[in-house]
Structure 1
Amino acid sequence: RHSPAPAPEPPFTGKVSLAANERDYRRDGAQHLYEHYGDRVFRGKLPPLIQAVGVMRLDIGPRGELRRFEWMRAPDHVPHVKAEIERLVRAAAPFPAPQRLGSVSYTDTWLWDKSGTFQLDTLTEGQLDRMPPPPARAAQPTTSPAASRPAGAAKTRQAPTTAARKAPAGSAATRVAQGEDAAAQPVQLPR
């Protein structure tokens, strides 16, 4: 008695990668994640401080199935981000089938912003080296001393007297300029 032959595997109709090596497949895998999560990709250069960096290795089977993944460097300081990246990777399967490689293992780095968006190092647009300046606010009227004077009032500035500017420290002229009583001190006139 013969058991029935197993049904043939249906033809593969998913995306295919023609990558010839791990580096090329990493680009295809990153592009697949970007297409799958276009609304979650951070556009432009990342800020200088990001919430998390995680390095993950994925094993992809011949039909693009996610066989397993492992953290090479997990963002353990933010468990919710770690869990979210894992969820995104699982939900993105199947990945492009590595037609020329048969199966592939590759590593990529997740750069996670506090906004919940990300970039992958393979396709990153870079990172700013400092925070951008805050957006310009509408000019606030400032109150300067001139603006607070009543109209028509002259600006008064008391300049030191010529004698006070030229007299040596401690002389009667200096004491007068500093508001001391000159009469209390004897003054010698030049001969």
Structure 2
Amino acid sequence: MRDIQTALHPAPQAQALAPDSRSPWAWLGLLMAGLLASCAAPVPPPVVAPPPLVVVPAPPPPVSTLPAPDLISQAGSPLEYRKDGARHIYERNTTRIYKGQLPPLMHAVGVLQVEVDGRGNVRNVNWMRAPSHVPDVMREIERTVRAAAPFPAPVRMGGVTYTDVWLWDKSGNFQLDTLTEGQRSK
């Protein structure tokens, strides 16, 4: 009989655990408890130590990938470099150099400034006195200078701007004042 009595009237502990099917508040409490449990913060994953830092030494300063200039000038001033520049133009234009003394009347005379960088490249040409009456000669002189590049690299100065006088004959040949053989009087 005790079993029947226990089944009809459960023990107080059993009543606390099982909701009364007649009490809506009991169901509501269970629902709230379930909702609160689902909102609980998740368990964080275990902390993994980061790998140790690897110290990489700084790379060495960049090495110039440009080859050394083939021609080098040891000139210490633009006036000294003027001779190196003139010789270089003469070497590149052997068939166009006027041989001997120039005639008394020149076809064109021009004063040209040439800017050369530290590697011997022509950066700029600037007319100080242009033979503007013969624009074809001006263009030819500029072309000749640019075609002669690279000039001897002015290693002691790191770059130079030098000036030379172009003496142009009507034959199309020329001399530079720096290396001129002079001019006939008649």
Same fold per superposition (TM over 0.5): yes
Aligned to 2:141: 85
**Could you tell me which amino acid in structure 2 is paired with residue 19 of structure 1?**
A
Query: Is 2:129 aligned against 1:73?
Result: yes
Between the aligned partners of 2:80 and 2:179, the Cα distance in structure 1 is: 12
Aligned to 2:112: 56
Q: CA deviation at 1:28?
A: 0.1
Q: What TM-score, normalized to structure 2?
A: 0.65
Match of 2:172 among 116, 130, 140: 116
Taking the TM superposition and a 5 Å limit, the aligned residue runs for 1:38-187 are 38-130=94-186
- Aligned partner of residue 125 in structure 2, secondary structure: strand
**CA distance 1:73–1:14, change in 2 (3 Å):** same
Aligned to 2:87: 31
Farther-moved stretch of structure 1 (35-44 vs 7-16): 7-16
Larger Cα-atom Rg: 2
Q: CA deviation at 1:7?
A: 7.2
Aligned to 2:71: 15
Between the aligned partners of 2:64 and 2:117, the Cα distance in structure 1 is: 18
Q: What TM-score, normalized to structure 1?
A: 0.64
**Could you tell me which amino acid in structure 2 is paired with residue 86 of structure 1?**
E
Give the length in aligned residue pairs.
Answer: 127
Between the aligned partners of 2:134 and 2:72, the Cα distance in structure 1 is: 34
- Aligned partner of residue 83 in structure 1, secondary structure: helix
- Aligned partner of residue 105 in structure 1, secondary structure: strand
For structure 1, the residue ranges without an aligned partner over 5 or more in a row are: 131-191
**Could you tell me which amino acid in structure 1 is paired with residue 122 of structure 2?**
L
Percent of aligned pairs sharing the same letter: 56
Tell me which protein shows more helix as a share of its residues.
Answer: 2
* Superposed CA RMSD: 1.6
For structure 2, the residue ranges without an aligned partner over 5 or more in a row are: 1-60
**CA distance 1:36–1:24, change in 2 (3 Å):** same
Between the aligned partners of 2:81 and 2:89, the Cα distance in structure 1 is: 12
